Amino acid sequence: MNLDPIFQSAQEAFLHYKNISGKDKAAFLRKIAEGLEAEKHSLIPMASEESNLPEGRITGELGRTVGQIKLFANLVEEGSWVEAVIDHADPDRAPAPKPDIRRFLTALGPVVVFGASNFPLAFSTAGGDTISALAAGCPVIYKAHPAHPETSKLVGQVIHKAVIESTLPIGVFTHVEGGIEVGQALAKHPTAKAVAFTGSFAGGKALFDAASQRKEPIPVFAEMGSVNPVIALKEKLGNNMEALAKQFVASLTLGAGQFCTNPGLIMVPDIHAEEFAKAVKNELELITAAPMLHEGIAASYYNALAILQGRKELEWVQVAEAKDLIKAYPALAKIKASDWLEDEHFQQEVFGSFALMVVYEHFNELYAIAQRLHGQLTITLWGEEDELAKKVDLINQLEEKCGRLLFKGVPTGVEVGYAMQHGGPYPSTTDSRFTSVGAYAIKRFARPIAFQDMPHELLPNALREENPLGIWRMVDGEFKR
């Protein structure tokens, strides 16, 4: 596949599109949202059929997708996200006059976005990566996920229509189909300026390596999932055994366990381990096994379990029998903390509804686990307030291992807001300094540029003296609007 014409068209579009007003960008994004809503009667059954996810879940996901688009439309329409900073000149400064310098965020350039299999809408064609890149002013070359080709194509058409109706250059969005080779070629194309990906560690790491080894290395935002440890402290668990078991199992089995925030690791104190395992088992028995996204993913799930079943350190609370080729029967195994600490393999994600229950004896073991943990999207710490108050050192250590630290509830259900951080230390993502969910996701696709002594008529509106956009700016060190 010759990708040059695609990237040439994207680059041409970029030089125009990056400069259109926040209002115009917002109008364009809202047209995409309206287009998705107009197609919902086709989209919902189509995405459901292609992903095996129930229509209810897809309906929710469509709502989330539309909500995300509106969040970014509002963000760019308001405009303060560009971090405008003005340092005024001082011609009288000694020993040398001070120049006028104005800085703001400008779009990076054409971005390659990869769709995710587990979110055919919210993390795919018009998902958070595409929309935050478009919001930042970057054209998107979108590589469709082969697990939901028709859904992707239809959403691609919706975006294309919005491009045309907004009289934008067609290179603002390009829908590309293909396999791994096409994906690699997209990430390696010299015109690409960034890559966004949600999926497996192997997939994300391959893109990261390709992008870092280019003649011009480019950033890769790969969200590669994690085991999202849940840590139960003694009192809290003892006081809420049934309720916590219920919450945990609901989170573990949601969407057949195919969420990047799926809790695949839970640490419980030995005193409650047996009782809690029983409570979890009772809940698991109430779960109807749900079909996974496709047979390949189900096969990987059962293969990973088969490998773990060969490990003598594990005691199985619930074994998943592969009763058919597609459904995920949930599974749970127990392991002693001392054994878990011996082998990093126990930290590997099993994509699906499997959890490993690590039984700890002492607080020291828990702290050692916290030190040894790989980087995670989330960590959840269940404790009574007085228990937590005594665990400041543990909390301090856990902060180093995750992007989001929860003290109630479960990690699934990622809020799309301003404060969300969906991105954690490696290997959960390739760049912990950014989020792929929430308003700040836009920052991935922009870089600062400073203008020194630029004639006032040439300044972008965000940096003009009179602040025509009415945005928040830092002027001579003070925030102002």
Size of the site for a copy of itself (CB under 8 A): 77
- Smaller CB distance to a copy of itself: residue 299 or 454? 454
From the CB of 317, what's the least distance to a copy of itself, in Å? 28
The secondary element (H helix, E strand) that includes residue 30 is helix 22-38
* 313 in contact with a copy of itself (CB under 8 A): no
Among 167, 453, 466, 468, binds a copy of itself (CB under 8 A): 453
Bridge partners, 230 (sequence order): 266, 380
- Window 58-97: residues binding a copy of itself (CB under 8 A): 80, 85-87, 96
Q: How many residues does the chain have?
A: 481
- Smaller CB distance to a copy of itself: residue 316 or 407? 407
**Nearest to residue 171, comparing CAs of 6, 19, 28?**
6
- Window 353-382: residues binding a copy of itself (CB under 8 A): 375
- Window 5-64: residues binding a copy of itself (CB under 8 A): 15, 19
- Smaller CB distance to a copy of itself: residue 121 or 328? 121
Is 77 among the catalytic positions?
no
Return the range that interacts with a copy of itself (CB under 8 A); candidates 104-112, 116-124, 226-234, 320-328: 104-112
Q: At what angle do helices 201-212 and 180-188 cross, to 10 degrees?
A: 30
Q: Is 132 helix (H, G, I), strand (E, B) or coil?
A: helix
- Smaller CB distance to a copy of itself: residue 53 or 297? 53
From the CB of 391, what's the least distance to a copy of itself, in Å? 9
E-only strand ranges, 18-159: 84-87, 101-107, 111-114, 140-143
Among 54, 311, 418, 465, binds a copy of itself (CB under 8 A): 418
Q: Is 56 helix (H, G, I), strand (E, B) or coil?
A: helix
Return the range that interacts with a copy of itself (CB under 8 A); candidates 44-52, 110-118, 345-353, 431-439: 431-439
Among 176, 186, 402, 469, binds a copy of itself (CB under 8 A): 402
Among 440, 441, 442, 469, binds a copy of itself (CB under 8 A): 440
Among 403, 428, 436, 441, binds a copy of itself (CB under 8 A): 403
Bridge partners, 101 (sequence order): 87, 452
Helices (runs of H) and strands (runs of E) counted in the chain: 16, 19
Catalytic entry in 50, 77, 223, 283: 223
- Window 113-142: residues binding a copy of itself (CB under 8 A): none
Cis peptide before 97 (omega within 30 of 0): no
Among 103, 143, 175, 336, binds a copy of itself (CB under 8 A): 103
**Nearest to residue 41, comparing CAs of 62, 19, 21, 24?**
62
Q: What whole-number distance in Å separates Cα of residue 398 and Cα of residue 305?
A: 27
* 343 in contact with a copy of itself (CB under 8 A): no
Helices marked H in 55-98 — which ranges?
Answer: 55-78
Catalytic entry in 77, 260, 365, 402: 260
* 432 in contact with a copy of itself (CB under 8 A): yes
* 436 in contact with a copy of itself (CB under 8 A): no
From the CB of 430, what's the least distance to a copy of itself, in Å? 7
Return the range that interacts with a copy of itself (CB under 8 A); candidates 154-162, 282-290, 353-361, 452-460: 452-460
* 321 in contact with a copy of itself (CB under 8 A): no
Return the range that interacts with a copy of itself (CB under 8 A); candidates 39-47, 179-187, 277-285, 449-457: 449-457
Name every residue whose Cβ is closer than 8 Å to that of residue 108 and which is 6 or more positions away in sequence. 136, 138, 193, 194, 445, 446, 447
From the CB of 279, what's the least distance to a copy of itself, in Å? 22
- Whether the CB-CB separation of 25 and 18 falls below 8 Å is answered with no
From the CB of 330, what's the least distance to a copy of itself, in Å? 22
Q: Is 296 helix (H, G, I), strand (E, B) or coil?
A: helix
From the CB of 380, what's the least distance to a copy of itself, in Å? 8
- Window 248-287: residues binding a copy of itself (CB under 8 A): none
- Smaller CB distance to a copy of itself: residue 341 or 454? 454
Backbone angles phi, psi at 370, to 5 degrees: -60, -40
From the CB of 453, what's the least distance to a copy of itself, in Å? 4
- Window 198-227: residues binding a copy of itself (CB under 8 A): 208-209, 212-213, 216-217, 219
Residue type, 412: T
- Smaller CB distance to a copy of itself: residue 368 or 474? 474
* 188 in contact with a copy of itself (CB under 8 A): no
Sign of CA dihedral 15, 131, 420, 368: negative
Distances (CA, A) of 141 to 21, 205, 225, 445: 22, 20, 23, 14
Half-sphere exposure of 304 (CA within 13 A, CB side): 24
Is 39 among the catalytic positions?
no
Q: What whole-number distance in Å separates Cα of residue 107 and Cα of residue 126?
A: 19
Sign of CA dihedral 308, 310, 316, 322: positive
Name every residue whose Cβ is closer than 8 Å to that of residue 39 and which is 6 or more positions away in sequence. 154, 155, 158
**Nearest to residue 291, comparing CAs of 26, 57, 12, 105?**
57
- Smaller CB distance to a copy of itself: residue 12 or 49? 12
Q: Which residues are catalytic?
A: 223, 260
